[in-house]
Amino acid sequence: MSPSRYPLHQSPFYKLTTRKRLATILGTDTATIKRLANDGDGFYREFDVTKKSGGKRGVEEPSAGLKDIQSRIAGKLSRIAPPDYLFCPVKGRCYVSNASQHRGNRVVRCLDVRRYFPSTSFERVLWFFRSVMLCSEDVAWHLAKIATYKGHLPTGSPLSPIMAYYAHYDVWEAISAICKEHGYTLTVYIDDVTISGHNVSAAVVWSIKKAIHRAGLRYHKEKAYIDRPSEITGVIVDGDKLTVPNRQLQKLNRARRDLKTAANADDRKTHRNKVMGLSSQIVQVQKIARSPSAT
């Protein structure tokens, strides 16, 4: 275990009973904790951003003060030693190492959890702090209120990625147990769930889907790959090989052409940054592809 990480029962939130101690842990005061919990919905702004694939995505963004407290909670939760199957949000693990876990497997099944944050309710977050962390009712309620907006995890909060995992801690542990029982490889990358093995039984996958449904979540974009290259979190897994999708190479070529024909300094800067970003992604895949194992 990394020296900077600790088991769940050593978290500062574990068996936390007083709001005063919670405030100390988060580097604030009880009045701020109370205000953010009771008036939290008033500390957000909602707006839309354009998705790369087209259409709009709604963002629920907390104010600077609330975001700071949420970041501190996320930091404490992120120091809990993660399970082997969790790849995001985990420091030192990435979308490439997530895909790498499935190298050499004949069958790959991928599921996306639909609207993961909006579907993760206040009650689920409260359950985690009350029943897993064993916090007092008062502390659990205040933490759950700070973490949520209008009764669910907000899309623009720095706490939502790690909180979504822990709010469904029992679900992911149950799914992990199912996969271990059958010798399957499981990885979870926020809302991307991947299961692979030499053979992956449809009946077992159905039991995993039912576990997801029982938690009030829904899956979509189901994909199955059998004896052929698979795409997992934006990486092509072909046997023991990892490569980038052709569309990434095409984007890089277009970005290089655009950089050569840029009309002014601002355009050159934009296209240069795009070239650098796409190139670094390709280098990252190549680096992990050369590694015998990735964590």
pLDDT of 295 higher than 70: no
* Interatomic CA distance for residues 70 and 155, integer angstroms: 13
Q: What backbone phi and psi angles, to 5 degrees, belong to 46?
A: -110, 135
Above pLDDT 90, what percent of the chain? 81
Average pLDDT over residues 260-282: 91
**Which DSSP state fits 47?**
E
Say whether 5 sits in a helix, a strand or coil.
coil
Take residue 229 and report the two structure tokens written for it.
Answer: 């290259």
Residue 164 burial by Cβ neighbours in a 10 Å radius (0-12, 13-18, 19+):
buried
Q: How many CA atoms lie within 13 A of 143 on its CB side?
A: 38
Domain residue spans in the chain? 8-232, 244-290
- pLDDT tens for each residue of 232-250: 999 999 999 999 999 988 9
What is the Cα 249 distance to its own chain's centre? 26
CATH architecture of the domain 8-232 equals: 2-Layer Sandwich (3.30)
DSSP letter string, 236-292:
EEETTEEE--HHHHHHHHHHHHHHHT--SHHHHHHHHHHHHHHHHHHHHHHHHHTSS
* Interatomic CA distance for residues 114 and 93, integer angstroms: 23
* Interatomic CA distance for residues 271 and 171, integer angstroms: 43
Label residue 2 by pLDDT band (50, 70, 90). Answer: low
Label residue 292 by pLDDT band (50, 70, 90). Answer: low
In this structure, are residues 93 and 187 in contact, taking their beta carbons and an 8 Å threshold?
A: no
* Interatomic CA distance for residues 14 and 136, integer angstroms: 10
* Interatomic CA distance for residues 108 and 72, integer angstroms: 36
Q: Beta-carbon neighbour count of residue 42 at 10 Å?
A: 10
> Could you tell me which residues come within 8 angstroms of residue 246 by beta carbon, excluding any fewer than 6 positions away?
none
Say what the pLDDT of residue 3 is.
55
Take residue 187 and report the two structure tokens written for it.
Answer: 């990885």
- pLDDT tens for each residue of 77-134: 999 999 999 999 999 999 999 999 999 999 999 999 999 999 999 999 999 999 999 9
- pLDDT tens for each residue of 160-184: 999 999 999 999 999 999 999 999 9
Say what the pLDDT of residue 194 is.
97
- pLDDT tens for each residue of 138-154: 999 999 999 999 999 99
Does residue 89 have a cis peptide bond before it, meaning omega lies within 30 degrees of 0? yes
What is the Cα 177 distance to its own chain's centre? 20
Q: What backbone phi and psi angles, to 5 degrees, belong to 30?
A: -65, -30
